[in-house]
Amino acid sequence: LTAAEQAAFDAVVADDGRIEPRDAMPEGYRRTLVRQIAQHAHSEIIGMQPEGNWITRAPSLRRKAILYAKVQDEAGHGLYLYSAAETLGADRADLLDALHAGKQKYSTIFNYPTLTWADTMAIGWLVDGAAIMNQVPLSRCSYGPYARAMTRVCKEESFHQRQGFEGMLTLVRGTEAQRRMAQDALDRFWWPSLMMFGPPDDASPNSAQSMAWGIKRFSNDELRQKFVDVTAPQADFLGLRVPDPELRWNDERGHYDFGTPDWDEFMRVVKGDGPCNRQRLEARRRAHDEGAWVREAAAAHAARRSAVARA
């Protein structure tokens, strides 16, 4: 970057403006965005698996249609995000290769199994809830295409969160066995949901620079606190117990106090050793291989159309 280009970039960021694909940008900024957007895209498509697991077993036609639509939405978010990464010069095929080779990450949350129907509802409530908390600020991120992609993604995630909460409400108002199933899902998904926000601030190597560049607007711990503040009263409303003996409202702070997630477990899952890491990557690689003919057919069709257009 020339000094003038760096000054122009700094001015846009300082002024809370948007950096666009053709603007000059520091190489580190571009790399950080490709890393984060790719991880985000990978999370969306791997995130189809835990809930997709229940499409054939949904308890009613209505629930099945809703779940189908939700899982398709996640695929759409993945496509949006891969496109956003491409505006930075990344190649979608390379990003997928890096995912399949285990070189790029996706969110730890999707390495936990969905053992019951209540788990799919808990994912809507908690996982989409956490995703919105993290992504609404990203719609003000300094990189234009990523920020704009978040507008629609967040609208859809909000709908997902509400359907999950409504599904939990239906379960807690059902039979005792259904209520227990809902409690069990909360017990298993609460702590992994808190881990979605990333490591604690003092162990988050990327945060300071990403905040300075206007990519992140809040720190990992700030967003985790906001999530707990919003979600704890929702659990009360459902009549469910959050599995954290330290959770209590702190009048002085105006926030809930809460316990510490098991960061050793988090690191194990990040490094590939969670309950479903192998199974998720294996299913993803298989889907990619089995979809090869679709990509070839789409490319052949596009080539023919452009040949016809030229003729």
Site residues (CB under 6 A) for ligand FAQ? 35-36, 39-40, 43-44, 47, 74, 105, 107-108, 123, 127-128, 131, 134, 195-199, 204-207, 210, 220, 270
Q: Could you tell me which residues come within 8 angstroms of residue 68 by beta carbon, excluding any fewer than 6 positions away?
A: 55
Q: Which is nearer to ligand FAQ, 134 or 231 (CB)?
A: 134
Q: Which is nearer to ligand FAQ, 145 or 199 (CB)?
A: 199
Q: Which is nearer to ligand FAQ, 18 or 160 (CB)?
A: 160
Do 185 and 116 contact (CB within 8 A), yes or no?
A: yes
Q: What are the backbone dihedrals phi and psi of residue 250, each rounded to the nearest 5 degrees, phi first?
A: -115, 105
Q: Which is nearer to ligand FAQ, 183 or 219 (CB)?
A: 219
- In the block, which residue shows the tokens 């997630």? 261
As measured in angstroms, the least distance from the Cβ of 252 to ligand FAQ is 28
Q: Which is nearer to ligand FAQ, 203 or 309 (CB)?
A: 203
If 0-12 CB within 10 Å is exposed, 13-18 middle and 19+ buried, where does residue 216 land? buried
Q: Which residue has the CB atom at the shortest distance from ligand FAQ?
A: 47
Q: Which is nearer to ligand FAQ, 158 or 241 (CB)?
A: 158
Q: Which of 168, 43, 162 is nearest to 116 (CA)?
A: 168
**Euclidean distance between CA atoms 27 and 35, whole angstroms:** 12
If 0-12 CB within 10 Å is exposed, 13-18 middle and 19+ buried, where does residue 64 land? middle
As measured in angstroms, the least distance from the Cβ of 274 to ligand FAQ is 10
As measured in angstroms, the least distance from the Cβ of 145 to ligand FAQ is 14
User: From the centroid of its chain, how far is CA 62?
Assistant: 25
As measured in angstroms, the least distance from the Cβ of 168 to ligand FAQ is 15
Q: Which is nearer to ligand FAQ, 167 or 199 (CB)?
A: 199
**Euclidean distance between CA atoms 157 and 140, whole angstroms:** 17
As measured in angstroms, the least distance from the Cβ of 306 to ligand FAQ is 34
Do 243 and 187 contact (CB within 8 A), yes or no?
A: yes
As measured in angstroms, the least distance from the Cβ of 272 to ligand FAQ is 11
As measured in angstroms, the least distance from the Cβ of 242 to ligand FAQ is 19
DSSP 112-166: S---SHHHHHHIIIIIHHHHHHHHHHHTT-SBHHHHHHHHHHHHHHHHHHHHHHH
User: From the centroid of its chain, how far is CA 158?
Assistant: 13
